[in-house]
Amino acid sequence: MANDTTQGQRSVSPDIIFRLAYYYDTKTFLTSVSLGIYTALSAHPLSAQDLAKRLSLHPEACEVLLNALVALELLRTEIDNHTGEVVYANTPVSDNFLVEGRPEYMGDWLRIDDQSWDIWGDLEHVIRGYGRHQQSIYAPTSPEIIKLAGMYDMEALAVAAKVIDDLDVTEESTKRVLDIGGGGGRFAAECCKRGPNITATVFDRLQVRQVFDEVVRQTNLNGRMSFIWGDFHHDVLPRGFDLVLLFDILHLQGAAKNRDLLWRVRGSLEPGGRVAIKDVLLNDNHTSPRRAALFSVNMMAHFPDARCFSAREIASWLTEAGFDEVRVSDTFPGLMTARVPKND
């Protein structure tokens, strides 16, 4: 029995602890994105010396960083046929996702994460209940708010058609759409494309109006889309809509505020109208998916009561607010709908 126990102990590895315990990987990676390493290497491989000159970096420090990126499998090395020196090149993953201008470029969001480094440094203070020292980059007064709205718009552009397809928006079911916290209004614009008589209103902070105006210009929906300035956290919402979009909103605040918001959303809808919620959803015990559980910590680090919730929790709030026909999409992750009873 003792031998079995000893054998069991020996089979336990601390690898996961080593992988999680240090900032090495994360900060090395985020710094490489911020420096533009992958974009600089996208045309052809370069030596550490040549790359350092191109990006105005310290030559020896640049080489140390590049070697670490090879270890992280974000770069590879090869020998230049003409000079015989070691040169560095992108791997397929970094070439696809980390080169500026490529369709699937992720660098803008990664730079935002890098700017949140000090926010994460306050995490222990937050969990102990002492609050945070840093203002979130996502805060309404952040100087990055317009840039973020533009980034959210680009993200929405990639999925808007698929999401609205799932909602089955038609002129028969939907005449007026309200997009709460909708920023540029890309999802609202996609609704308008489903019929010439569908109109949409975006309700959001005044700072993002210029992103909205650009979306209207791009989609030729002037006259069918309008913008109302307001703060969904506490302002009165406009009324008389057939569909309310509440996309990536609930994780910005706590349960009590979300309950209040859903009551106010119900007041914005006509009898038979629907609310559509898209969010990062946890399972019922809040331990998976892994990305959602960690994203919940991220939100808590940025805002006092923000976190992610499960579909079951959100469904209970919808029922409490008087909605029925609560559904979770089978085809688009994180999408839920509910309806105001027609006899209201």
Full pLDDT tens readout for the chain, 344 residues: 445 555 555 689 888 888 788 889 999 999 999 999 999 999 999 999 999 999 999 999 999 999 999 999 999 999 988 889 999 999 999 999 999 999 899 999 999 989 899 899 899 999 998 887 888 888 888 888 899 999 999 999 999 999 999 999 999 999 999 999 999 999 999 999 999 999 999 999 999 999 999 999 999 999 999 999 999 999 999 999 999 999 999 999 999 999 999 999 999 999 999 999 999 999 999 999 999 999 999 999 999 899 999 999 999 999 999 999 999 999 998 999 999 998 86
What is residue 210's DSSP assignment?
A: H
Nearest Cα neighbor of 77 from 34, 51, 55, 47 is 47
pLDDT in tens, 160-186: 999 999 999 999 999 999 999 999 999
Cβ atoms of 203 and 176 within 8 Å: the answer is no
Question: Treating both helix axes as pointing N-terminal to C-terminal, what angle do 145-167 and 209-219 enclose, rounded to 10 degrees?
Answer: 50
Say if residue 90 is exposed, middle or buried (CB neighbours under 10 Å; 0-12, 13-18, 19+): buried
Q: Which domains are delineated in the chain?
A: 2-115 (1.10.10.10), 145-339 (3.40.50.150)
